[in-house]
Amino acid sequence: MIALLLAQTIAITGGTVHPVSGPRLANATVLIRDGRIVAVGTNVSIPSGATRIDAAGKWITPGLIDGTGQLGLVEISAVPGTREASVQGDTIAAAFNVAEGINPASTLIPVTRIEGITTALAVPTGNLVSGQAALIDLDGATIEQMLVKSPAGIVADLSERAKDNAGGSRAAVADRLRGVFRDALEYERRKVDFGRAQMRPLSASAADLEALLPVLHARVSLIAYANRRSDIETALRLAKEFKLKLILTGAAEGWEIAPAIAAAGVPVLVEPLSNIPSYDALGIRYDNAAVLAKAGVKVALLEPDTHKSRNLRQQAGNAVSYGMTWDQALRAVTLAPAEIFGVADRYGSLEPGKVANVVVWSGDPFEFTTGVEHVFIRGKEVPLTSRQTELFERYKKLPPTY
């Protein structure tokens, strides 16, 4: 509310700026006006009246983007009344858009953003086609104020856990998706016949088929969760058959076929700190992100545990530890996800014209020593407080004062 009224100019001066879109700039200024970045450089003139933030010795990056999780869609994992990410009774839930389930008052949002995550994908879960994901900024009093892009993709599950939605076989998963995609295209061609009930029954509801059309016309991405190499290959095969704009997520065994993924031009969302073998991914290992990146795949890094989204920077640091370059890892939590979700014109780097999601860190954002000093979301500085900081303040001296 306040943010909309403020016409504010902020100059973050003297820090080391990592624009991501270009080389690192020492002793540089980031100038923000009315929610946008207006200048980045070492020779920026600062308007009088600008609020100055002295960032000498600090590191400045774009706000981090976590390309998964259920921020805004879950409060307490074990309490069903606070979970909004999954619908029952529809294995093809393509028309289910999570946006109106988002709770802007969720306590997870301040907990996460004060550690430098400013944007996240709110992802539907469950079913074969889980629904439509929404990209949100972690600030705003209303859903409308938070939304960056919706849908940012339609989610389908090709992993082991989806099998029961298709009768219990991986082969049936692929077959079911193919059938639904074909029906959606037929529905599009024969909407009149469908309306008159002059068509054979289709394999999903009209609303779900309708929702899939932008995917089948490659205007909206299909975000496919697949881990086993053969499942990843199935996703690539389906994408080729139907000319889909595919995003792979999970992709635990992606390293095994990194050149093929690169050749297909398919980006991958990876959780670096994931290496426990299961029958869904016996080849899972820590250097997956690095191998994919080295092969030329566009990689974004994830922290899938919603309550721990703030650990995205730990994930990125470990990706570096297991072979990514530092620059690749920073890109993989900023510009790469912005590109993958189709918002790189507005997000992901520190460039004039982009939305001013900016974080001032005390040092290397991936290191544990580093703390967040300032967070700007859409050009507004957010207070570094959360329910957790309030609990700490209450109990830092015992007994507490209630």
Task: Point out which residues bind other proteins (CB under 8 A).
Answer: 75-79, 107-108, 256, 273-279, 282-283, 285, 307-308, 310-311, 314, 317-318, 320-321, 366-369, 371, 388, 391-392, 395-396, 398-400
The answer to whether the CB of 347 falls within 8 A of the CB of 338 is yes
Q: How far is the CB of 14 from other proteins (least distance, A)?
A: 21
Question: Quick one: DSSP state of residue 109?
Answer: H
Nearest to 167 by CA among 176, 158, 159: 176
Query: Would you state the structure tokens that stand for residue 385, as one six-digit string?
Result: 């407080």
Q: Which of 202, 187, 291, 181 has the alpha carbon at shortest distance from 246?
A: 181
For other proteins, the closer CB: 160 or 186? 160
Q: Which is nearer to other proteins, 44 or 384 (CB)?
A: 384
Would you say 118 or 311 has its CB closer to other proteins?
311
Q: Nearest distance from residue 146's CB to other proteins, in Å?
A: 20
Minimum CB separation of residue 256 from other proteins in Å reads 6
CB of 77 or CB of 169, closer to other proteins: 77
- Nearer to other proteins among residue 169 and residue 278 (C-beta): 278
Nearest-approach distance from CB 96 to other proteins, in angstroms: 24
Residues near 242 by beta carbon (within 8 Å), at least 6 away in sequence: 181, 216
Closer by beta carbon to other proteins, 212 or else 319: 319
Least distance to other proteins from the beta carbon of 402, Å?
11
Smallest distance, other proteins to C-beta of residue 292, A? 14
The DSSP string of 119-173 is EEEE---SSSEEEEEEEEES--SSHHHHEEEEEEEEEEE-SGGGGGGGTS-HHHH
Q: What is residue 395's three-state secondary structure?
A: helix
DSSP string, 332-375: HTTHHHHHHTT-TTTSSS--TTSB--EEEESS-TTSTT--EEEE
Buried b (16+ CB within 10 A) or exposed e, 123-144: bbbbbbbbbbbbbbbbbbeebe
Q: How far is the CB of 303 from other proteins (least distance, A)?
A: 11
Nearer to other proteins, 7 or 276 (CB): 276
Tokens of 275: 């290496």
How far, in Å, CA of 401 to CA of 42, rounded?
48
